[in-house]
Structure formats: C-alpha cells, structure tokens
C-alpha cells in the first residue's frame, strides 16, 4: 500500500481530509504513483464530491465567507438608509433666467 493510499484510507475512514493531508496528497501527485494510489485518490475525490468526506480547506473557506457576510450585514444595518426616488432638495431659492 502506497503513501497516497494510506492517506486516502484514513480520510475515508474518518470522513475528514485535513489541510496537512491534502498538501501531502498534492506533493505525492507531483511524483510517480502506482495504479492503486491513483484509484484510491479518485475514490477520495468521489467521496468528497458526494459529501462523505469533508475537506478542512473548504470548511475554512466557507467559514471565512460567512464571517465576511455577517460583517457586511452588520455594516449595512449601521449605515443610514438612502431614500428611493428624487432626493433633490434646494437649499436656497432658485432664480429662473428669462
């Protein structure tokens, strides 16, 4: 059993792929690997796409996006609302040229 196969087996068993394991897989994919490792990697991809294996990196991205969304909502609630329509209000008498 190759190194890639071991990482994949652990991720599928736990249902979780850590950032560290993901980086290790990237490194291993840069080198030669056998058919068993490649098949294991493809199985992991399928499991992740089906939601049976969660990726830490994706969870962090989602968490950051939600945090930014919350900050934007809080900021919007503090800003005064701008009325819709024509907001033109003359501050002094306007002379009409003839």
The pLDDT, as a whole number, for residue 52 is 96
Report yes or no on 88 lying in a domain: no
Report yes or no on 90 lying in a domain: no
Instruction: Look up the domain containing 27 and give its range.
Output: 3-77
- Kindly state the percentage of the chain with pLDDT values over 90: 51
Say if CB 11 and CB 46 are below 8 A apart.
no
Report yes or no on 19 lying in a domain: yes
The pLDDT, as a whole number, for residue 35 is 92
pTM of the model: 0.61
> Total structural domains in the chain?
1
Report yes or no on 60 lying in a domain: yes
Report yes or no on 95 lying in a domain: no
Distance of CA 6 to the CA centre of its chain: 26
Report yes or no on 84 lying in a domain: no
Report yes or no on 13 lying in a domain: yes
The pLDDT, as a whole number, for residue 22 is 94
Count CA atoms closer than 13 A to 57's CA, side-chain side: 8
Report yes or no on 91 lying in a domain: no
Does position 24 have pLDDT exceeding 70, yes or no?
A: yes
Does position 81 have pLDDT exceeding 50, yes or no?
A: yes
């Amino acid at each position: 059993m190759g190194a890639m196969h071991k990482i994949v087996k652990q991720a599928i068993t736990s249902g979780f792929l850590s950032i560290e394991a993901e980086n290790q897989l990237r490194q291993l994919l840069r080198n030669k690997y056998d058919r068993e490792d490649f098949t294991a990697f493809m199985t992991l991809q399928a499991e992740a796409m089906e939601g049976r294996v969660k990726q830490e990196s994706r969870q962090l991205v989602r968490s950051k996006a939600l945090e930014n969304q919350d900050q934007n909502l809080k900021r919007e609630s503090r800003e005064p609302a701008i009325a819709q329509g024509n907001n033109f209000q003359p501050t002094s008498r306007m002379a009409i040229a003839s």
